[in-house]
């Protein structure tokens, strides 16, 4: 008999779809992957070189639980240059991926039986980490009228005696929407008035288009910030992230880190020092420009085919599309396109329950050529779907 918590943590439905996609590829089929939230770019060469040098230098032992001082200082300098913020590097905890940062924050801030407010739709692991620490998530339905984000009004409406905090993401997965500085400030006021904690997932910072995302730390020095080297810095497999916390929380977080994972991967930490070199930033900004071009191609192309995308995403690399004109079963809809046209995208049921079966997510993390081919396949797939289904 296994624990109740393990049984209540749901699998990624998209992983079953991905498994089927790999089966098709093994059989010789050409599958276009728009389902996985991973940049298609290889890790930037300066980071590879830094890792190679770290190996030569024997950087293969444990580090301090909070991370190597050089990387914590580099991140503090990055906050100063990008956000004009003065962040004490002692407030920055280096973690095994953004997931490690979320584990630290949820372990620290939520008692068993208590919960955070989360937007629905949202990244599914957020609620699962809360379940892991015997806490919970109060999913708040949000739609285009809310920019798919929590608002002070929704916080007021859904807060109850068991609520202890709010977790928001900006830019958000799966919708790509961004909270402005004013919206972050208003949320901070609302949560502080309730005596709760504000936690902000800023993992897709740097991947915004036509604007730069504001950090919640610009308006709330006591907020907790989750971030990662996976997206903007393109280090998904290196498993490296960070958490910015109020100074008084650091000793407790250090104790948790020592016991839960000892330290973040040493080689990854030394490699990440190269992320902040000018030549690396130039690479990341070029990739950001390419993501913008992909969004600007795929968004109107899907709308032209009849996918309803009411809110133009300003960040991340996702399009969250309403498919209610075509189906009330997003999972069957996704499998149709995979089986008939060999193009994979994600059913909305992975991101919550609010109108989930009427939505799908497209990740534009493939080349422009792949996206152009995908649109042609989707157009054909829609024709065959309509021929056999009616809403």
Does residue 38 surpass a pLDDT of 90? Answer: no
CB atoms within 10 A of CB 322: 18
User: What's the confidence (pLDDT) of residue 388?
Assistant: 86
Identical topology for domains 4-42+280-383 and 45-277: no
Does residue 390 surpass a pLDDT of 80? Answer: no
CB-based contacts of 39, cutoff 8 Å, min separation 6: 231, 234, 236, 287, 317, 365
Quick: pLDDT tens for 218-241: 999 999 999 999 999 999 999 999
User: What's the confidence (pLDDT) of residue 364?
Assistant: 97
The SS3 call for residue 383 is helix
Does residue 389 surpass a pLDDT of 90? Answer: no
User: What's the confidence (pLDDT) of residue 333?
Assistant: 96
Quick: pLDDT tens for 262-285: 999 999 999 999 999 999 999 999
Cis amide prior to 125 (ω within 30 degrees): no
Helices 278-305 and 45-56, packing angle to 10 deg? 140
pTM of the model: 0.95
The SS3 call for residue 132 is helix
- CATH dotted code for 45-277: 3.40.640.10
In this prediction, residues 48-73 reach a mean pLDDT of 98
355 DSSP 8-state letter: T
Core vs surface per residue 246-269: b (16+ CB within 10 A) or e: eeebbeebeebbeeeeebbbbbbb
Quick: pLDDT tens for 342-369: 999 999 999 999 999 999 999 999 999 9
Binned at pLDDT 50, 70 and 90, residue 245 comes out as very high
Core vs surface per residue 214-232: b (16+ CB within 10 A) or e: bbbbebbeebbbbbbbbbb
What mean pLDDT value characterizes the chain? 96
| C-alpha span between 263 and 265 (Å, rounded) | 6
Binned at pLDDT 50, 70 and 90, residue 391 comes out as low
In this prediction, residues 376-384 reach a mean pLDDT of 97
What distances in angstroms separate CA 82 from CA 10, 246, 272, one per listed residue?
37, 20, 17
Q: Domain residues of the chain, as ranges?
A: 4-42+280-383, 45-277
CB-based contact 318:176 (threshold 8 Å): yes
Looking at domain 4-42+280-383, its CATH architecture is Alpha-Beta Complex (3.90)
Residue percentage of the chain with pLDDT more than 70 = 99
């Amino acid at each position: 008999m296994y624990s109740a918590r393990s049984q209540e943590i749901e699998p990624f439905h998209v992983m079953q779809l991905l498994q089927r996609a790999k089966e098709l590829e093994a059989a010789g089929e050409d599958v276009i992957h728009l389902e996985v939230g991973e940049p298609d770019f290889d890790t930037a060469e300066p980071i590879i070189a830094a890792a190679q040098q770290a190996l030569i230098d024997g950087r293969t032992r444990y580090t301090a639980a909070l991370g190597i001082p050089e990387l914590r200082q580099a991140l503090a300098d990055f906050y100063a240059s990008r956000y004009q913020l003065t962040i004490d590097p002692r407030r920055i905890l280096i973690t095994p991926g953004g997931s490690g940062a979320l584990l630290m924050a949820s372990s620290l801030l939520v008692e068993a039986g208590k919960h955070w407010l989360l937007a629905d739709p949202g990244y599914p692991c957020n609620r699962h980490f809360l379940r892991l620490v015997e806490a919970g998530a109060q999913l708040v339905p949000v739609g285009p009228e809310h920019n798919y984000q929590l608002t002070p009004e929704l916080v007021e409406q859904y807060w109850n005696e068991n609520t202890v905090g709010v977790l928001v993401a900006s830019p958000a997965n799966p919708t790509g929407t961004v909270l402005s500085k004013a919206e972050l400030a208003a949320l901070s006021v609302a949560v502080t008035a309730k005596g709760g904690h504000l936690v902000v997932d800023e993992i897709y910072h740097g991947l915004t288009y036509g604007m730069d995302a504001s950090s919640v730390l610009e308006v709330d020095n006591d907020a907790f910030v989750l971030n990662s080297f996976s997206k903007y810095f393109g280090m998904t497999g290196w498993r490296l992230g960070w958490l910015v916390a109020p100074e008084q929380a650091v000793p407790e977080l250090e104790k948790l880190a020592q016991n839960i994972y000892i330290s973040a991967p040493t080689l990854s930490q030394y490699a990440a020092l190269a992320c902040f070199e000018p030549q690396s930033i130039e690479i990341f900004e070029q990739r950001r420009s390419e993501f913008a071009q992909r969004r600007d191609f795929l968004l109107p192309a899907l709308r032209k085919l009849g996918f309803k995308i009411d809110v133009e995403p300003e960040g991340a690399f996702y399009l969250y599309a309403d498919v209610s004109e075509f189906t009330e079963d997003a999972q069957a809809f996704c499998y149709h396109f995979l089986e008939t046209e060999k193009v994979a995208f994600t059913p909305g049921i992975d991101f919550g329950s609010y109108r989930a079966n009427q939505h799908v997510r497209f990740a534009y993390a493939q080349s422009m050529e792949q996206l152009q081919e995908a649109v042609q396949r989707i157009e054909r797939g829609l024709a065959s779907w309509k021929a056999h289904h009616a809403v």
